[in-house]
Amino acid sequence: MTAPVLEMREISKAFGNTRALDAFSISLEPGTIHALVGENGAGKSTLIKVMMGIHQPDAGSIVVDGREVTFRTTQEAQAAALAAIYQEPMVFPDLDVAENIFINHHARPAFVRWRALYDEASAVIKRLGVSVDPRRPAGSLTLAEQQTVEIARAISLDARVLIMDEPSASLSDHEVRRLFGIARALRAAGVAVLYISHRLEEVFEIADTVTVMRDGKHVSTRPIADITEERVVAEMVGRDMQGRFKRMPSAQTGDVLLRVEGLSRAGAFHDVSFTVRKGEILCFSGLVGAGRTDVALALFGIAPPDHGRIEIAGQPVTISSPAVAQRHGIAYVSEDRRKLGIAMAETVTANITLPMLDSYCGPLGLVDKRAESADADTFRERLDIRAADLNMPVGTLSGGNQQKVMLAKWLNTKPRLLLVDEPTRGIDIGAKAEVHRIIRDLAAQGVAIVIISSDLPEVLSLADRVIVMREGRFVGEFQGESATDESVMHLAVGAAGRGAA
Amino acid sequence: MRNTFMSRISPTSMRILALLFVLILTILFFSTQIENYLNARLFNRISTSVAIILLIAVGQSVVVLTRNIDLSVGSVVGFVAYFVGGVVGAFPEIPAILVPVLAIALGACFGAFNGFLVSRFNLPSIIVTLATLAIFRSILVEFTDGSSITTASLPDWLTEFARLNAFVVGNFRVRWMVVISIVVALVVHVFLTRFRAGRQFYAVGSNPEAARVAGINVGRTVMQAFVISGALAGLAGFMFLARFGNITIVAGLGLELKSVGAVVVGGVNIFGGSGSVIGVLIGASLIDLLETSLVRWALVSEFWRDAVLGMLILLAVVTDTFMSRRLLARPTAKAAAAKTAADNTAAPIAAPGARQAEGS
């Protein structure tokens, strides 16, 4: 048993009346991957912030190499060889890769020698077994590449503890593989990796040890071999959850609602044809960047197609803007909550009523506040949105509840066709199950649903039909049960699979 | 990969080349419109005037790089010019070198006040400096009681300094003011491009949240930017005093518009994170050249000068927006293609047979 490099002992931290951390303890040993799981709001983010010196604990102690320390700033945590990478990559889009890695590297001379900087950046990136040009601006990189840059920054600082907060949330399955390769290489080099993820499949694949936390408290820490997935889920939610990934096919499907023929947009997708029936759940699977979102954006009029036909309920339509799309009964729930989804600073009510604001206006064009709150309240009950007050800004809610607000906002438009992009990214298992239930209920009510998801278990549990995309083209289609992890994945990464069209 | 000239050149250098081109075009245009345009007097006049606006614009660009703005610079220039003029008038024996030092220190104090409010309380800089723009000016009015500084009250060395030549080539006189201003710009340029502390201004403006988690002291960096801006506005105030001698309570009015104009035209992103001092140097020259030339161009009333400056700023912003949209669209498409290619070659596929089938 090696001595732990970092110990958090009985850490408590409260914000107002909320106890985010309640005498929580965890210890990280060098050369291990330690998974931390817990529902959203369990206190994981607060823990990271305490570890990285962003918050100071109210009680408890932080011990590095057996010596008690205090971190008043991120700089002090970094000096103790702690580093963290976050769910949304924290890079500088205007600066190039090399600078992103070394921007605050105090061991380097104050004077920048660019040639040496690029050489060293290449060396660090190479150690991760990936290839990224150190001269490219970070803003032009994919999310996965940006994350690589962040890991490179941590390595260049000789981090002995690397905290990864939901690192796989925005990655495609293939990129997750590469991330695991990097994590294992770090473990082999003696780094203590704290791996935080909602995806239990991943945790069981990568971690040596798993710690479960709930409501800011430590629940259990065990070697991965001593615990099952069901047990972890039960400990996380504090109750047993039966059949969480069971397929429940929609009862019956009706007439064809959407028919798409030969749809193309240069540089995004090519010759895409499919139909969706009323009450059917169709899933688009594939790697991130395969053009799935672009198809949704075309159907919602954000980035209209160059060629092809779209028919809704048998009528040919031209969808030139989101307003037109809404008029045809189409709603699009974006994958990017912050950018295209909700106004974080606005209240829950205002977000829900926003797309339909006209219908709440009285004779003088004034908004009928009472009707607004009444409808928002209905959605709170229907979708079980947990907000103490519907007049709270959405930004103060947990990720899962933000996602529900976004769903409510679009359900309020009473869509016939609902496009949902990454419906459960970065939200916890409990909320995920609820979102799935909501989607199934909608299908049962006859709404045609198109889901884009990089989460394979999600696709397999929700879909009546799966279409796989690769490099902007449809490469295969599966009916419900015939889709499996392997068959979908093979098509998505470009290996010839069974059932290829 | 093709290594053509166009693909090798960075967007920043491209911007500077384009600006130089516009500058030359402008000179050529006015030389056909105005008789006896290209002469040494015009050069002398524009270079001294650019010297002052350049200092302010360089300080402004450092602030803009951090995703902030300093609208108070005009008032700082006016206050410093008046205050320093008053001090020199009252104590003529004061050692000459102390006078610009006093001006810089006073400006830095104003900058520190702005920076403190913005970084300590996380206030939007556009509001803070809009307020201090008015406050600093009002203090000046109160302090002066509405009276003016006159050239007669100033020691001779000060008024002569404005006409002191560093070197002369033919009829072209290059004043010390111009040399100092350009040296300051170059020093800031080297600091911003070659020192880690300088690069952190870019980092903070590019993504403040990322800067925080990378362990950069964001508040201190923003504070430094405002102090630099204030100090350079202070130095500009000293030069303003030397050049004009007569200082009234409206001294330096409108310099915030000109400095922001020079910064934006010079290619510094108004949302922070990118830009270069060399671009600002050309931007400041272009704006001043246009202004001076328009005064002498019979076809256009001089009341149109501000409108022309405004249009130039609009043009620069429109160009920037279109350019950055194109630049953003290109590399991402390339990146996506490269990524899928890499995915295909590197994918650890479980069934090797399937891979061969794809190849055949």
Q: Where are the domains of chain B?
A: 38-252
Q: Which residue of B has its CA nearest to A52?
A: B213
Q: Residue B229: name the closest of B345, B58, B346, B343 by CA.
A: B58
- Portion of chain A with pLDDT greater than 90, in percent: 32
- B349 with A94: Cβ contact below 8 A: no
In the DSSP assignment, the letter for residue A191 is: -
| Residues of B in Cβ contact (< 8 Å) with A471 | 340
Q: How far is B360 from chain A (nearest CA, A)?
A: 10
Q: Confirm whether A6-237 and A252-329+415-501 share one CATH topology.
A: yes
Give residue B199's pLDDT: 93
Listing DSSP states for A55-79 in one string gives S--SEEEEEETTEEE--SSHHHHHH
- Of B11, B51, B44, which Cα lies nearest the Cα of B237? B51
pLDDT in tens, B277-288: 999 999 999 988
Say yes or no to pLDDT of A336 above 90: no
Using CB atoms, which residue from B217, B328, B358 is nearest to A495?
B358
> What residues contact B66, with CB distance under 8 A and at least 6 apart?
B201, B204, B205, B221, B222, B225, B272
Q: What is the mean pLDDT of residues A250-270?
A: 83
Which residue stretches of chain B have pLDDT < 50?
1-3, 6, 330-360
d(CA B130, CA A258): 54
Question: What does the pLDDT read at residue A413?
Answer: 85
Q: SS3 letters for A235-261?
A: HHHCCCCCCCCCCCCCCCCCCEEEEEE
- Contact by Cβ (8 Å): A493, A174: yes
Indicate the average pLDDT of chain A: 84
Angle B277-296/B40-65 helices, nearest 10 degrees?
140
Per-residue b/e over A26-40, b at no fewer than 16 CB within 10 Å? Answer: bbbbbebbbbbbbbb
Closest alpha carbon within chain B to A172: B343
Does A30 have pLDDT greater than 60? yes
| Residue A220 clears pLDDT 70, i.e. is over it | yes
Contacts of A101 in chain B (CB under 8 A): none
Question: Average pLDDT over chain B, rounded to whole?
Answer: 84
pLDDT at site A243: 42
Q: Which of A66-80, A107-121, A296-310, B7-21 has the lowest mean pLDDT?
A: B7-21
Does residue A166 sit at the B interface (CB-CB below 8 Å)?
Answer: no
Q: What predicted TM-score, i.e. pTM, was given to this entire model?
A: 0.73
Residue A498 has pLDDT above 50, yes or no: no
Could you give the CA distance from residue B309 to residue B302 in angstroms, rounded to a whole number? 12
**Do the beta carbons of residue A104 and residue B214 sit within 8 Å?**
yes
Q: Average pLDDT of A78-93?
A: 88
CATH topology of domain A6-237: Rossmann fold (3.40.50)
Residue among A256, A301, A249 at smallest CA distance from A276 = A256
Which one of B339, B356, B360 would you mutate to disrupt binding with A, by most A Cβ within 10 Å of its Cβ?
B339
A12-21 CB burial, b ≥16 within 10 A, e <16: bbeeeeebbb
pLDDT recorded at residue B340: 37
**pLDDT at residue A95 tops 80:** yes
Q: What is the DSSP letter of B271?
A: T
> What confidence tier does A330 reach under pLDDT thresholds 50, 70, 90?
very high
State residue A424's pLDDT score: 84
Q: Which is more confident, A373 or A35? A: A35
What is the average pLDDT across A477-493?
76
Per-residue pLDDT, A240: 45
Chains A and B: how many Cβ contacts under 8 Å? Answer: 128
H helix or E strand, kind and range, residue A473:
strand A473-479
| Domains in chain A: boundaries | 6-237, 252-329+415-501, 339-414
Q: How confident is the model at residue A253 (pLDDT cuts 50, 70, 90)?
A: low
- What CATH architecture does domain A252-329+415-501 belong to? 3-Layer(aba) Sandwich (3.40)
Q: How many angstroms separate the CA of residue A84 from the nearest CA in chain B?
A: 8
**pLDDT (mean) for A458-483:** 85
**Distance between CA atoms of residues A92 and A212, nearest Å:** 33
Mean pLDDT of A103-112: 82
Q: What is the pLDDT of residues A4-15, one digit of tens each?
A: 999 999 999 987
Q: Which two tokens stand for residue A374?
A: 């009444």
Asked if B325 contacts A134 with a C-beta cutoff of 8 angstroms, the reply is no
Q: In what order do the strands lie in the sheet with A67-69?
A: A18-28, A6-15, A59-64, A67-69
